[in-house]
Structure 1
Amino acid sequence: MLEVIRNRRSIRKYNNKKVEEEKVKEILKAAMQAPSSKNSSPWEFIIVDDKNLIENLSKTHHRAKHINGSQVCIVVLGNKERFIKAGKWIQDLGACTQNLLLEAVNQGLASCWVGVFPKNKRVEYVRSILNLPNKFVPYALIPLGYSDEKVEFIDKFDESKIHRNLYKGV
């Protein structure tokens, strides 16, 4: 598992190889294993593989253009009917999305977390593109594909960010 964590990168260039359904299913299984407040599991997903919809989702904001090159885009949604404690769903969906990204690496796929929530303009744009009922809150877009970039390990460990017991300043 540590190798998967170390090899996860935000990849924005994908080739044209089709993403297998069974890999998408395994990715979603991993996403749903995330912890959630009071076991509420407030997430739902839309698998988008229609090229026109993918192109429209790539227009969500200026940092989403690369979605257009992906074969599949998973839309991570919060379901308001399962928001038990105010604000906890945001953490729940964060954990869920991280699981999704890690399993994508495990499946040999590339991905990139494209934020939607909390920007109202982005939320409403995605809601309109997908004709979502109000009970769903678009949280993130995760394009999936086979990488057209070289993935290299980048050591992000920084011992200066580790503190014991009490914070004593720098």
Structure 2
Amino acid sequence: MDTIEAIKSRRSVREFTDDDVSDEVIELIIDAGRWAPSGLNNQAWRFIIIRDPDIKEGISKLTHYGRIIKNAPVLIAVFLDNDQMYDYTKDVQSIGACIQNMLLAIHSLGLGGVWLGEILKNKEMVNKALGAPDSYALMAVIALGHPDEGNRVSERKDIYSLVFRERFGSGW
């Protein structure tokens, strides 16, 4: 799949079939994430893979999107390891790039995924439920699996409404 096509056709998927996702595919997804850029190449991201229904049930109670947490075959909790941090802002930006790489990999593999951020309001309780080290700061949970049937559309603002300074070339 062409990169631009993947970026434009990826959608957040919140409904999944019961089909399993193999460990090999999960490894490909995490591998895509680890190739994101990071300041000083510190790669301060860390991951916890969650498949256990009891753990999913527990953390589903910590977010408004508990239904998605419970129904996704796989969750990947994405953390910033504060012990490996270089610069907080740059490292958080790197985590965002890492998550986007993973979402694009999920899409390119014919799977569906969604970036869940609302769960961060209870990040300390999520960390405890997952047994995450104290140095790990939860950044997001990615829910993924085989997408259930559905028509997913998304709108974007007109590109010209997003450029505010020094318009370049014709049309800008």
What TM-score comes out, normalization by structure 1 length? 0.88
- Give the Å deviation of 1:26: 0.7
CA contact (8 A) 1:7 1:152 kept: no
- Give the Å deviation of 1:155: 5.1
Question: Compared with structure 1, are the counterparts of its residues 64 and 37 closer, same or farther at alpha carbon in structure 2 (3 Å cutoff)?
Answer: farther
Runs of 4+ in 1 over 4 A off after TM superposition: none
Structure 2 SS opposite 1:12: coil
Structure 2 SS opposite 1:133: coil
Kindly provide the CA deviation profile for residues 97-153 of structure 1, in whole angstroms up to 9, marking residues without a partner as x: 11111100011111110116863xx11111111122211111111111111132445
CA distance, structure 1, for counterparts of residue 16 and residue 120 of structure 2: 27
CA contact (8 A) 1:18 1:71 kept: yes
CA distance, structure 1, for counterparts of residue 51 and residue 97 of structure 2: 24
Q: Percent of pairs identical after alignment?
A: 32
Aligned partner (choices 95, 98, 121) of residue 96 of structure 1: 98
Structure 1 SS opposite 2:65: helix
- Give the Å deviation of 1:53: 1.0
CA distance, structure 1, for counterparts of residue 10 and residue 130 of structure 2: 28
| AA matched with 2:125 | Y
- Give the Å deviation of 1:73: 0.4
Q: Partner of 1:19 in structure 2?
A: 21
CA contact (8 A) 1:117 1:138 kept: no
Q: Partner of 2:170 in structure 1?
A: none
CA distance, structure 2, for counterparts of residue 14 and residue 118 of structure 1: 22
Matches within 5 A, 1:1-170: 1-115=3-117, 119=121, 122-152=122-152, 154=154, 156=156, 158-163=158-163, 166=166
CA contact (8 A) 2:33 2:98 kept: yes
CA distance, structure 2, for counterparts of residue 44 and residue 13 of structure 1: 25
Kindly provide the CA deviation profile for residues 29-87 of structure 1, in whole angstroms up to 9, marking residues without a partner as x: 10000001111111011111111112222222113431110111001011111111132
Aligned-pair Cα RMSD in Å:
2.0
Number of residue pairs the alignment of both structures matches: 165
| AA matched with 2:159 | E
More deviation, 126-135/145-154: 145-154
Structure 1 unaligned spans of 5+:
none
What TM-score comes out, normalization by structure 2 length? 0.87
| AA matched with 1:60 | L
- Give the Å deviation of 1:11: 1.1
CA distance, structure 1, for counterparts of residue 34 and residue 11 of structure 2: 21
Structure 2 SS opposite 1:62: coil
- Give the Å deviation of 1:162: 4.3
